[in-house]
Structure 1
């Protein structure tokens, strides 16, 4: 059964003592600007990046592929998840934090299975692992790589996918036609949903490819 997000709401917001921070903290950085002037900058910093890893986590572009229907419009896997910082249900791609000694691709395959139940694999033509990308570099050091995975709908494991969610995760998984992602984002926004930047950027990319006939 899909989760109901209607009962989710922020009860209060208060300052967090840095000694109690588990996931992120605030730091003050002293630096010199291009003219040699000393300045300071306040920013957030993740506390969860494994030692030796160059990223905090991954975002996943997961596309359903049905070998028996090669001409069907590709479907992208999306999620609805209520997020306390924005007090709204957010339209997102599957994503998650990387484990110690895990590659970005291994993380993506694991997180996709845990969050959606789908078994993903690299797309035909080889793996797609993006450069390291920063979500909001003016505010925090959080970064990730985007990984593209294919979901083979002929695989029996993908016939009745069962997510393996933690007890504090409430995620609704669904799909939309990739070519309609921009219009779908507009509809979701009109309905009161928030749009994750990764989803919005993918939608922009699809629209740019259409406009400039890049494919």
Structure 2
């Protein structure tokens, strides 16, 4: 008996409302699966409908750092998120367009949301945001920014009409403390930001 012995048997729509036809971004699903013991079970899940055809990921998160004389600063955003009814502290992020690589999406989204022009330097393995709830996944892409370039002097974000994003930076070495401070002020901390902050603290503690 091992986790690898479990398998999905079938998937069907799960209608908690009369119809899911008006849902633009997600749909509810019921999964019939077999656990490692061979027992048939069910699971309720939310599923994105926006993943590009043939694509492996829904979107990208962007780890963008400004290297300043006073030390590296991470680019973060404040954005209201209706599901949690709070302004959330996030990294720049966005969905991948059809035919677009994770790196291309990251560079595009960074410019659209912050105005910064950068270059992708590292891409992580595929990561799942909340696999116990939904199938949404992404790659984190590290983007370097040359602040000396003319295009990074007079920033001009290209936000959509429905986007209201406030961009700010935090010294990487203070990220954990800043997350605690922002939480105390009523902000919600996105898991990617919180996990990154925790990782930095762990690296300090274990002197990695």
Fold match by TM threshold 0.5: yes
Q: 1:120 Cα shift?
A: 1.0
Q: Does 1:82 align with 2:80?
A: yes
- Alignment correspondent of 2:26: 24
- Alignment correspondent of 1:39: 41
- Alignment correspondent of 2:132: 138
Secondary structure, counterpart of 2:117 in structure 1: coil
- Alignment correspondent of 2:111: 113
**In structure 1, what is the Cα distance between the partners aligned to 2:130 and 2:18?**
21
Could you give the per-residue CA deviations for residues 6-56 of structure 1, whole angstroms, max 9, x where no partner exists? Answer: xxxxxxxx9583111110010000011101111110000000000111000
**In structure 1, what is the Cα distance between the partners aligned to 2:19 and 2:161?**
25
**In structure 2, what is the Cα distance between the partners aligned to 1:111 and 1:39?**
40
TM-score, normalised relative to structure 1 = 0.87
RMSD, aligned α-carbons: 1.2
Q: 1:162 Cα shift?
A: 1.1
**In structure 2, what is the Cα distance between the partners aligned to 1:99 and 1:178?**
30
**In structure 1, what is the Cα distance between the partners aligned to 2:137 and 2:33?**
21
Higher relative contact order structure (alpha carbons within 8 Å, sequence separation ≥ 6): 1
Q: Which has the higher strand share?
A: 2
- Alignment correspondent of 1:159: 153
TM-score, normalised relative to structure 2 = 0.90
- Alignment correspondent of 1:5: none
Match of 1:53 among 39, 52, 55: 55
Aligned residues: 193
